[in-house]
């Protein structure tokens, strides 16, 4: 039961960030979340809860979206 509340909170916060409007300003940093869930690709990218991000500019996030998988986020200003 607690797990569902935690997952609900995680997804709610991710949707707020990912749906934030993108403005063309120099003083803000935006995040784009790329979920990776239960695939062969996720096994290559994710290990021990730490993402090995597939593209330059992406950084690992410690927020898991799936049981054993992870996400990568890209930051730009």
The highest-confidence range among 5-9, 13-17, 20-24, 58-62, by mean pLDDT, is: 58-62
SS3 67: coil
- Between CA 72 and CA 2 the distance in angstroms is 25
Q: Given this model, what pLDDT does residue 68 score?
A: 43
Quickly tell me which residue has 């509340």 as its tokens: 5
pLDDT band at 58 (very low <50, low <70, confident <90, very high): low
What percent of the chain is modeled with pLDDT above 90? Answer: 0
Q: What is the pTM of this model?
A: 0.22
Q: What confidence tens digit (pLDDT) does each residue in 28-54 have?
A: 555 555 555 555 665 565 554 444 565
């Amino acid at each position: 039961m607690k797990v569902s509340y935690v997952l609900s909170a995680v997804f709610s916060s991710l949707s707020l960030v990912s749906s934030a409007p993108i403005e063309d300003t120099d003083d803000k940093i935006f995040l784009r979340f790329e979920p990776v869930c239960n695939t062969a690709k996720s096994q290559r990218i994710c290990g021990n809860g730490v993402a090995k991000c597939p593209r330059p500019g992406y950084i690992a996030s410690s927020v898991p979206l799936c049981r054993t998988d992870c996400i990568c986020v890209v930051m730009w200003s």
